Homo-oligomer: A and B are copies of this chain.
Amino acid sequence: MDQSEKLHGHGMMGVGARRSDAVAAELATMIQTGGLQEGERLPAERDLMQRYGVSRAAVREAIVSLANRGLIETRLGHRPIVRKPDYEIAVDRVGNLVGHLVVDRKGVWNLFETRIFMETALARWAAKHARRDDLEELRAALDTNREAIGNSSLFDETDAAFHAVMYRMPGNPIYPAIHKAYVEWLTQHWRSMKRGAGIDQMNYAGHEAIFEAILARDPDNAEEAMRRHLVAAWEFVRSTFPSDN
């Protein structure tokens, strides 16, 4: 704590702590405690090196570290901008990692399976606990989705929006963040696959079945409808892989 005065004197200090880490930790704390507000600009590198008594290289490495953790955004020629991490950014980070990590069929299935697991449970939750305005929102999303049949990119969008309602219902901000990660992961690898309206029709029918089951307050059917819908979607994703063994 408070290295701002002790960090100078350049070649000493011995222990295994990197100076850049100390600076990064200091700045991270300042961000998380509100000393640096969201959207605010970080001090210039040349200021920071004076303030903490370290070289610019150390400051830069600290900034790289913060940027990697999503606490700041860097643009060339601009001072870094503070971005208080929310669930979306956090989940997004792990999403990127997992996305890179999931390259083979097995890995993709593992990830997709978590989505099925997640959404079947969400469907069950909705059937049990959805309030009237939740249902209205879901119905609106369903209608919008139906009207988009035939328009691939628009359909995908409204498709995601329908599922997004499911993630939003429990009122826990972590779920929408997870959904966003799924969507980005999927669109990144299968962006707007061209296909006939028949596929859209099938997917819409899936959404409709899910909605009906939820409306009927039937958890088992809601779960099953969601599972069928996603397994069908998986067959689509799976078909994009060459080695189908």
Contacts and interface: CB of A to CB of B under 8 A. Distances in A.
Nearest to A62: B64
A90 B85 contact: no
A235 to B, nearest CB: 18
A196 B60 CA distance: 50
Interface in A128-177: 170, 172-175
Contacts of A120: 121
Interface stretch (A106-114, A183-191, A209-217): A106-114
Nearest to A28: B100
Contacts of A201: none
Interface in A103-128: 103, 110-111, 113-114, 117, 120-121, 124-125
Given A60-B57, A121-B117, A97 B68 contact: no
A69 interface: yes
Contacts of A89: 97
B87 A98 contact: yes
B90 A174 contact: no
B85 A97 contact: yes
Contacts of A90: 94, 97-98, 101
Interface of A: 16, 20, 28, 32, 57, 60-61, 64-65, 68-70, 76, 85-87, 89-91, 93-94, 97-98, 100-101, 103, 110-111, 113-114, 117, 120-121, 124-125, 170, 172-175
The 10 A-B pairs at the shortest CB distance, nearest first, are namely: A94-B94, A121-B121, A68-B68, A90-B97, A61-B64, A110-B172, A64-B64, A90-B98, A90-B94, A114-B174
